[in-house]
Structure 1
Amino acid sequence: MARSRNIKPGFFSNEHLAELDFATRLLFIGLWTEADREGRMEDRPRRLKMALFPADSVDIVHMLDDLDHLGFIKRYTVGDVQAIQIINWAKHQNPHMKEAKSIIPAMPVVEPSQGKHEESTVLAPDSHSSFPADSLSLDSGFLIPDSLNPSPAPVDAGELFARFWKLYPRKVGKDKAEKAWAKLKLTEALFDTIIKALAKHSLTPGWTKDNGQFIPHASTWLNGKRWEDEVSVPSNVHHLPSSRHTGFDQRDYKAGLTAVGDGTYEF
């Protein structure tokens, strides 16, 4: 059952959401109306499609994956239940106190002993957010997962894509490649990893034979995180045939000569 939820100006200026296409951003809003008071719902893409995009041709599964990849939602499974948790829901929505309690299992919490600094994003069923609805804004970290680690220095994704595209050997589907690039949580370290992997892939037989017709489109390579593949680069060292001109160090070049007083030899 759809519910009334809050949306504030910070949503439209959020730089992380701007990486997603228009339909996916609209889906994110729609998920709020489908979520229960704890920000959970069943992970049923076909039902969500009928509820939120009944007249549109969209790929709900792909859109949910994009939202999950960027940290706006978490798709998880508990027993036989496949569910979705909207991240930081309790900090940014203030459901009506008469809403029914959630019947969907909460997302498993990562234990501190696993070495990750994570904070539970789910309120207890009887708890209510201490943030009023009007506090939703970009400055309050609007629906973005909290982190105890400082954010990495910003990178110029456009400039780095230009460098990647210049090196990628198959120049087709640039527009799709740019969209795939925009989905990456790009850092200088990740860029270096991608470029090093690309150099290895470029030497494999599958990329070098038949004028490169088997090289995947850049968008496919990026979406599949192919830089994480284990690649064996063949040796390109060609051994020269053995020379017949050998044994020079064993020859006696003084044979047949006569030694003279100054240490030289003559015929």
Structure 2
Amino acid sequence: MARSRNIKPGFFSNEYLAELDFATRLLFIGLWTEADREGRLEDRPRRLKMALFPADNVDIDRMLDDLDHLGFIKRYAVGDYKAIQVINWTKHQNPHVKEAKSVIPEMPGLEASRGEHQESPVQAPDSPSSFPADSLSLDSGFLIPDSLNPSPAPVDSAELFARFWKLYPRKVGKDKAEKAWAKLKLTADLHETIVTALAKHRQLSGWTKDNGQFIPHAATWLNGKRWEDEIQVPVDNVHRLPVRQSGEPDFNDTTWANGLRGRQ
């Protein structure tokens, strides 16, 4: 009986799987829908062809061999019974706990392969998977995260704290501030957000009066995520160009120089 299964973007970026032809890759997805909750199914190429490729001229037996060769499945036999195990099944799928238990014999040697450092390719009956259902990549048993975006570039947290501390106007409790800083999941973007907000806070009246005695300690400011506050810089603190007094000449108007020429 066919079942609904998960497929995620990592499937399409797997370089090993890309070595196989298009039909074989499609077969691999189809095997998931035919497999039971433990990732097993009968090794019956003719039946699989009728279930998955009824209108196509494909060699299912060869395609299964190719998937076996690359380690995506394992074709095995228990006596006269031929079966297929999808490798690392629980890393690919989260079968519903009410799904019927497998009636297909377990792959020989599976119990021996379950050790402290090697995970089983199947899921224990009536227990949810300890792994999130995900799809294929080149690492960690073909597991890949949902996002294919590159990880943020690493930042030097100590160097960025030194910049922050230099900008912070109240130099009190540096050790506590460093501990608060270390708790942040710091990125270059977050650092930019923090120092931009700090520049605005420095212009608040509460920070500028009475020699800054009302400025919170840096640790308090960081722990409170005060950079997320919505603040408006007071108009009086906005830098403005000097206004020309009524008695001063307008140097953009050259008529003021006429008197000088007359005196010359």
TM-score, normalization by structure 1: 0.49
TM-score, normalization by structure 2: 0.49
